[in-house]
Structure 1
């Protein structure tokens, strides 16, 4: 095993290889921060007869090694007429649904790998499938791109079943049904299951976890679509030239399936957009439960007779809102005492738990909005956990010194209940997104149709972000000056000379000391304050 930071004590960003280098010191090695080197060494070892299993810190980082992947690794067997092969496994965290990663930590890009002949591509969604697919990958004769949804690293669960190999090209039937075929993989399996739980048993959905992208299980999907006559594909990847489009194209090109389909296939996908740094932007771009539910209901609402499909949602036709369940009673919450839980927030990539270092409030204390409630420490920093509600401090469920997991409940705040306005009953799920908006006479969509999405951030963070001026600052540093300073420091201090990153951090601190505007903050009342003390974090 060869990869970035995989040796102890770190054991990889998500701790996947912890203890392996201690138990197998001659088989587990840290690599340079050079993906081309990782893939090149992997290709060489595999061609030599070894079976390397190499880690990339995130699949987003593969592009510096792309020449090795598509020029050497993928086609070695083909261009040597089978005299050479490349039994190499490249595994990496993949996908989003864990805020803060954005451009270089949140990509779902399986369609890119699926484009190149010679590469097998798999994406498990359960620990059992991860183990079984990895076993198969390690015993195969061809290169495998093994993509692990990084959200899975937070969803640990014990499995008492022995590891059973999972063959490539075999989808897993999650549940049987008769009204619609739903195909998902990776993170979207979990989202699809949440959507099915929301519609309960109103619609009979046959769901598949594709899990093997190349090869994929054409026969299982064809057989199911022939039975249900409807197809919904849910993917995390970008819509353009995607695996979801490949599946739909294949199904609709089969005459026996096309003639039987009762409604057009639907693809729920991330749009052709970037994943934003702000969690609100990230979740807005990704498939969510509401979109999946709406797509299911749209597909089912389409008339069975093919001649009526075009008229069912014509530009001037009113959708059948009764059939879609959009009419329902509303209720108003009455004032009551509410208990708001205090939980450990997500604090960054690879951080799974933290240590309680202080409890700043006692039971019965008055709590104001944004008050610091407690402090937790990770291997990177000490974080205050702040209140998103005003009220009275309830009982703590933890104590100083405890190690707590992300999402764990620490205590509660008692708030005075207030009427929160109309709340729609279960039948009023926002399915309008599944129906084309009414079209105006000039052909434009009615902009009044919007889909409501739950906020991804706590009210405290949202309020503080409202005073942050969104901006990107790019400064071209003159490397020659940094190099000369670094060389001078090495001559003077030897191995103890500061790294370029430390030197830049030093320069930032000097700027904050000498230039007051760098020490100023905008408060919620729009006043500007100048601080003397800052906790400065440097990301390398």
Structure 2
């Protein structure tokens, strides 16, 4: 074999060996100088570099932390070792990984971690993805002798043998696992002597200091695995020529004689001897080594000049840009036919069809079983090579999935129950969660881990009913989701595929086949972004936050409380990491009462995190409670299980406490003679069963234990026997029917001696109750006005106009003796907007509110009060405010808020602004929506020149809050001053639709307007403590230009006019003018808003612009 070691080849090896050794030397120097802090030597392990000769570019390497020489041979730059040592920004991990844990995406060298043995499962996963690749690539897995005792390594070898994957395991045996001697304690060195094989793989043994023999061993192993596509094992006997790390002193556990004798096995002197034998002189060799030393020192010097990294606090990759462009879609309710199980199955089917890199791997997922809950049923038949059963080992399932993901596949791994997550926790925490962060994004691990979870089903217990979501949420780097409905399940699963983030997808087994919460078949459209919650119900009195199984508990309790006069908001988180902090916080601040409900145990559960966040960040008092499982495991006894888990009754009691009510329960009387025999399945996975035989009919007398029916379940045929004796009253199924488990199969007029027996409970009974408010208690969450409140803020103004722009020229034909320019001269109006077909007060108001909500990025559910000011209502009841609130609820959920209309004609905006001020004074964090909507054109008498030329149609919407609550305030306003001088309609009359036309005494109205507005602005200045002379601009109601000019003249202040293109829009005119100021006047201004209107009404407010 030495004949293959040409002089050139030996020089190449020498360069790698010497550079590796020189890197070690400089690293030790940097440690002594305090420049670096951790060092692992590769001295003695250099012969692994011989392996590289036999590797292809598309082979994959999962290396040992002492494999410096092999990394150099593969192409790792010298500087990378020093950049990693010094933890610089340029290093492969930006200073996040320990210095010996290198990786290189370009070289297919995967990331090394501290938990040794983890890489073995990854290597097997990579090898699985390579098995049928063209070019016959292979995976290399290098481990130390101590690592071979790790379960991950032993599982990896077993999986490689079981599935016959192309992988070479190289065991670098230096006889020590730090200080622990490994002789006679490993699979290859047994107590009774060396082993020749392991799991049926022949062990190829060689000494690392014998370079020709080592080379031949590598050649043989690589050729075998590459050609046969099966595993091989090389045992490389080496000498560790250094301390374990700089933190170790091997002299404490090795004798000096042992250390000195070990140096005789140093491969570098042996290589030098081979070079000299090949004709390279000692002087030439010394010169080569001096040049290499200079090269290494130069690279080290450059690394020392590199910048320090910035800390990266987020362990997760950003979501793709497509997420921002994709709207949430949960299916069409009117076409909802698919259960959660069917939806998950359908999404997986579509993903398998669309992407050949998608693979499914887990226990019992192949047909005919198709998963213990049927989630993968039919998929292995359709995709036989990509939907595969796994061995009964969770760490192998997850670890090999990580490897497949590293190699570019999209693995979906299945664990049967969340209770088995701890068996795979090492791979989830150390690998799935950290891969992206620890490699600066060079490597990703987009594994989707599908896990059934939770209780609320008979037949479960410890190890089949846990959820563990808080443990997962505590793990950096992974998304954790738990849907409660089919639409959310499909949307979240599609998002997980698109996001490429590692995701643990927890699906509650108890709702997999629920008829409630179904979704439509257009599964490819479903999309739910992780981190966004869903409102199940809207309310004002209390917020319930939940996810998974407990969402239905919350929804049912909320409905029951609604029937007794309370308004309860229910939020389904759906996503646990990330979780929707923004919506939960906003809801808790609105209701000031929060209960978090989850079935994971209480201590350090998600409830604690949510409550702590709300307590820290809410700027209002919030009463908080948690309802969770106690810190014990879920029992098998179902009654005990329901007592342990959050239940309907416990939730109702807690809600009553928070709402300061007394609850009286009315339990159902089930002690009568009529009893039910219910359908059962073969196990907790069965949701439905098929009736194959019925052995009784109405009128039959049955005894306890008598066979009454036979059903076909997923696992087996099941006999149903009577649990009570008596006369059969009614049978609710026929042979061939498929019915839900726990549904009533037949009823029995029970015998007295059996009717009082305590039969097995199949579900919690949600009994009725009555609430009574405890009047002696105050509402602690309501914060009253303290006296320091002085200003409100207008944070946005939306508007809408009629669709038709009507110029003076368009209407002048109604008055043959008039001219278009005459209209402008009399009124200052050139055009106005009138409604078109299909438009009205409601449609304009809705458009204006939508404009505002878009600007402020808010929802109607964020609003506490809607006041609609209109003089032209189209109907009396419901109010315009109520109908607008419902119309703009995009989620289809009815808002829970106060809403009413008011009629103050053209002064309506200022009247509403005063009411908003007073409401906010009592509830400082409230958000008030003021809507103005006027449709006057259908009420015009086109024969009446003096009125027909004036009016236009428009609507506005203004968001009003305190200054502190406003995100981007436009105006700050003092409390408006309102007044009036009532009259019966002689001066101005506006009829209801189809009941007449507008009539106005123009001259009298002019006089009233000038006097009332002049008085109102003066009163408002006094109330606000400002001189009239200090107002920069008056913003009067845009009645007509003559009134505007007269007010300006009487007050001595300039007055804004925007009437030219809008006409008189009644209550909408002032907010339209304010919008003009916000858009066109950038300087800070003191404004005087002033109005008058039919009735007669008047009002004014002092407002400051905020820039």
Tell whether the structures are fold-level matches, with TM greater than 0.5.
yes
Match of 1:189 among 548, 551, 557: 551
TM-score after normalising by structure 1: 0.68
Q: Is the 8 A contact 1:5 1:13 kept in 2?
A: yes
Q: Which residue of 1 aligns with 2:417?
A: 58
Deviations 1:434-489 (A, max 9, x none): x9xxxxxxxxxxxxxxxxxxxxxxxxxxxxxxxxxxxxxxxxxxxxxxxxxxxxxx
Deviations 1:47-80 (A, max 9, x none): 1122111111112112222211111111011111
Measured at CA, do residues 347 and 167 of structure 1 come closer, stay the same or move farther in structure 2, by a change above 3 Å?
same
Instruction: Report how far residue 417 of structure 1 moved.
Output: 10
Q: How big is the alpha-carbon RMSD for the aligned residues of Structure 1 and Structure 2?
A: 3.1
Unaligned runs of 5+ in 2: 1-359, 757-765, 778-1107
Q: Which residue of 1 aligns with 2:602?
A: 239
1:41-52 aligned within 5 A: 41-52=400-411
Deviations 1:9-30 (A, max 9, x none): 1100011111111112232111
Q: Distance in 1 between matches of 2:618 and 2:561?
A: 31
Deviations 1:144-173 (A, max 9, x none): 010000111231464226342111111101
Q: Which residue of 2 aligns with 1:214?
A: 577
Q: Distance in 1 between matches of 2:409 and 2:501?
A: 12
Deviates more, 1:366-375 or 1:201-210: 366-375
Q: Which residue of 1 aligns with 2:506?
A: 147
Q: Which residue of 1 aligns with 2:591?
A: 228
Q: Which residue of 2 aligns with 1:159?
A: 519
Instruction: Report how far residue 402 of structure 1 moved.
Output: 4.8
Q: Which residue of 1 aligns with 2:709?
A: 374
Q: Is the 8 A contact 1:397 1:410 kept in 2?
A: yes
Deviations 1:258-288 (A, max 9, x none): xx33x3x010111011111111221110111
Q: Which residue of 2 aligns with 1:387?
A: 722
Q: Which residue of 1 aligns with 2:395?
A: 36
Secondary structure, in 3 states, of the residue corresponding to 2:632? coil
Measured at CA, do residues 431 and 212 of structure 1 come closer, stay the same or move farther in structure 2, by a change above 3 Å?
farther
1:350 aligns with 2:709: no
Q: Which residue of 1 aligns with 2:560?
A: 198
Match of 1:22 among 381, 392, 396: 381
Instruction: Report how far residue 367 of structure 1 moved.
Output: 3.1
Measured at CA, do residues 385 and 20 of structure 1 come closer, stay the same or move farther in structure 2, by a change above 3 Å?
same
Q: Which residue of 2 aligns with 1:504?
A: none
1:62-141 aligned within 5 A: 62-141=421-500
Q: Distance in 1 between matches of 2:546 and 2:452?
A: 18
Measured at CA, do residues 184 and 41 of structure 1 come closer, stay the same or move farther in structure 2, by a change above 3 Å?
same
* Greater RCO, 1 or 2 (C-alpha within 8 Å, sep 6+): 1
Measured at CA, do residues 389 and 230 of structure 1 come closer, stay the same or move farther in structure 2, by a change above 3 Å?
same
Measured at CA, do residues 333 and 382 of structure 1 come closer, stay the same or move farther in structure 2, by a change above 3 Å?
closer
1:266 aligns with 2:604: no
Q: Is the 8 A contact 1:53 1:138 kept in 2?
A: no
Q: Distance in 1 between matches of 2:520 and 2:750?
A: 43
Unaligned runs of 5+ in 1: 302-322, 436-540
Q: Distance in 2 between matches of 1:110 and 1:58?
A: 12
Aligned length: 402
Match of 2:611 among 240, 248, 272: 248
Secondary structure, in 3 states, of the residue corresponding to 2:410? coil
Instruction: Report how far residue 222 of structure 1 moved.
Output: 1.1
Q: Distance in 1 between matches of 2:460 and 2:701?
A: 36
Q: Is the 8 A contact 2:732 2:745 kept in 1?
A: yes
Q: Is the 8 A contact 2:667 2:768 kept in 1?
A: no
Measured at CA, do residues 354 and 74 of structure 1 come closer, stay the same or move farther in structure 2, by a change above 3 Å?
same
Instruction: Report how far residue 332 of structure 1 moved.
Output: 11
Q: Distance in 2 between matches of 1:4 and 1:242?
A: 29
Instruction: Report how far residue 253 of structure 1 moved.
Output: 1.1
Q: Distance in 2 between matches of 1:403 and 1:226?
A: 47
Q: Is the 8 A contact 2:656 2:771 kept in 1?
A: no
Measured at CA, do residues 346 and 193 of structure 1 come closer, stay the same or move farther in structure 2, by a change above 3 Å?
farther
Secondary structure, in 3 states, of the residue corresponding to 2:462? helix
Q: Which residue of 2 aligns with 1:324?
A: 662
The structure whose Rg is larger is 2
1:409 aligns with 2:747: no
Measured at CA, do residues 32 and 192 of structure 1 come closer, stay the same or move farther in structure 2, by a change above 3 Å?
same
Measured at CA, do residues 130 and 293 of structure 1 come closer, stay the same or move farther in structure 2, by a change above 3 Å?
same
Q: Distance in 2 between matches of 1:145 and 1:288?
A: 26
